[in-house]
Structure 1
Amino acid sequence: MNRMRWRNVKTQFKEQKMGIVALIVLGIFIIAAVFAFLAPHDPNKIVVTERLLPPSAAHWFGTDDNGRDYFARALYGGRVSLSVGFFAMIVAVVVGTTVGAVSGYFGGAMDNILMRFVDVLMSIPSFFLMLILNAYLKPGISTIVIIIGLLSWMSIARIVRAETLSVKEREYVLYARVSGQSNFKIITKHIVPSILPTIIVSATINIASAILMESSLSFLGLGIQQPNSSWGSMLNNAQGYIGDAPYMALFPGIFILVTVLSFNFLGDVFRVAFEPKVNRR
């Protein structure tokens, strides 16, 4: 069954050309972020005499209000934004999968307690809670990753729980119980691998959401702090120079838009490929 699902993914990529485009775009962004150190300019070097220069051969994306090369800052900003999205996704997936699998597998009182806890957290506006927590904690990438990760796992938990309720009634899981395998082994060896496609779909969408959250926090000045940059903090810095240097908002804005759309396209490809009813059409 799993092999068939992954064959469906290949088929879906062949049918959905935007999925291939999304993979290529994300591949380019990831490679650019990894090799950002090869940029010809120091992203934090201030050159007062080169303030707000438009894009040129010397500075491909121009310079900012401190004369720093905008192309280099965009590369390092992409590294930060993608890293936050990826690691926050890992935190959310680990927590959400653990809570959802435990809740669905054991059921009963534990299921009720965990799901009511999830309902309470989902009823709280997560973004405003994020603003409050970020204001009291030490600013930094690790803080943002933890905050976003711990406030975005609830939807994953509900999805994993629903899948676990179905999987735990299958023959191989019932056999594992009868054979005396521990609950931990059954969950990790049988249930989680069976619902892995669903987790992957949730993960791709979660990365996009995490990048948007980080960008929003940084845009409000509560995320990545100077001299470091992210695409969101670059947008924040560009607010006062929209008229004089519109490129300062254009480049990071386009990068955020394209990245989020690409992850959403990937999520759609995986969702359609892993959905049996769609595959039968």
Structure 2
Amino acid sequence: MTDTVSVLLPKPDRSPGRLAMQRFRRNPVAVAGAIVLGLIVITTLVAPLVYPVSSNAIDLAAVRTPPGAGHPLGTDSTGRDVLARVLAGGQVSLMVGFLSAAIAVCIGALAGVVAGWFGGVVDAVISRTVDIMLSVPPVLVVIVVAGIIGPSVPMLVAVIAGLSWPASARIARGVVLGIKEQEFIQAARVSGSGNGFIMLRHLLPGVMPPVTVAATLLVSEAVLLESALSFLGAGVRPPQASWGNMLTEAQSLTVLSSMPWLWLPPGILIALTVLSAMAVGDGVRDAIDPRRNA
């Protein structure tokens, strides 16, 4: 009787997506990273509602004021509210990170699928391009481009995305080489499906899980790169705030030693964002690993 009932009962959903979500939820570090990253993103998005103070409002009577009732995180060297600039800077830094990562992953996934599917000369050209791009130091390229056309947010996004797509392309190419000879792909070929349909319908969905992992790691790399470049003056141009250019205050030994409110908030948020994104990426990688048990 028990066997009969067990046969009649519906089987639990064991789809790959559900199993991956279950594995991710069992990873406390990844869950904590997702919560912290989500809180940072949500807070910066609703910043005007949370703290409706202009990030560029100058108050020369309150220059480098310590944290207090009027200014919860103090003011900077021109009297601007640090909390308002941290929130506004988060919008810029996170936009650069997420947008450049999304563009890079889209370009890389498409290039990797094309290289893996067509092979031959196409694969050789794309693979050699990837090798060359991976050997280019992104910081130097951004500094040169910023010197030619001037630093700006669109320039940062374009250059970071343009230099970051080869990693996703290499991952996508490897996945396509592993699945292009499988039966469902051969069946699509026999049925008369064109190359474009096969790549979009069968190959791209197959490469998205591992490429998603690369995307989460690219976000952390892009935020770090934007912060470093803005600190050097080749990124986001003042008075527009970003976490990177807020750290330029820390170039002064006086600020470092006696005015930590000017550099600690953006520094802590950069560290939390990068660590959280990397924790999420590691969790997603472990969750979609087919060698793991349910």
> What TM-score comes out, normalization by structure 2 length?
0.91
Q: Do the aligned partners of 2:109 and 2:207 also contact (CA within 8 Å) in 1?
A: no
Output aligned runs, 1:1-281, within 5 Å.
4-38=15-49, 39-240=51-252, 241-277=255-291, 279-280=292-293
Cα distance in structure 2, aligned partners of 1:50 and 1:12: 51
Q: CA deviation at 1:15?
A: 1.9
Q: Do the aligned partners of 1:235 and 1:253 also contact (CA within 8 Å) in 2?
A: yes
**Alignment RMSD (CA, Å):** 1.5
3-state secondary structure, aligned to 2:111: helix
Deviations 1:2-44 (A, max 9, x none): 9733223322233211222112111111111111212242110
Q: Judge which range, 124-133 or 246-255, deviates more.
A: 124-133
Structure 1 letter corresponding to 2:139: F
Structure 2 letter corresponding to 1:15: R
Structure 1 letter corresponding to 2:17: W
Change (3 A) 1:44 1:3: farther
Deviations 1:178-232 (A, max 9, x none): 1111111110111011121111111101111111111110010111111111101
Aligned residues with identical type, % of pairs: 39
Change (3 A) 1:188 1:212: same
Q: Do the aligned partners of 1:134 and 1:147 also contact (CA within 8 Å) in 2?
A: no
Q: Do the aligned partners of 2:109 and 2:169 also contact (CA within 8 Å) in 1?
A: yes
Q: Judge which range, 12-21 or 81-90, deviates more.
A: 12-21
Q: CA deviation at 1:138?
A: 3.1
Cα distance in structure 2, aligned partners of 1:113 and 1:224: 34
Give unpaired runs (5+ residues) of structure 2: 1-12
Give unpaired runs (5+ residues) of structure 1: none
Structure 1 letter corresponding to 2:59: V
3-state secondary structure, aligned to 1:242: helix
Cα distance in structure 1, aligned partners of 2:282 and 2:27: 10
Cα distance in structure 2, aligned partners of 1:127 and 1:36: 30
3-state secondary structure, aligned to 1:109: helix
Q: Judge which range, 30-39 or 264-273, deviates more.
A: 30-39
Q: Do the aligned partners of 2:100 and 2:160 also contact (CA within 8 Å) in 1?
A: yes
Q: Judge which range, 120-129 or 102-111, deviates more.
A: 120-129
The structure that has the greater radius of gyration is: 2
Q: CA deviation at 1:140?
A: 1.4
Q: Do the aligned partners of 1:5 and 1:273 also contact (CA within 8 Å) in 2?
A: no
> What TM-score comes out, normalization by structure 1 length?
0.95
Cα distance in structure 2, aligned partners of 1:79 and 1:257: 16
Q: CA deviation at 1:81?
A: 0.5
Structure 2 letter corresponding to 1:174: Q
Q: CA deviation at 1:60?
A: 1.4
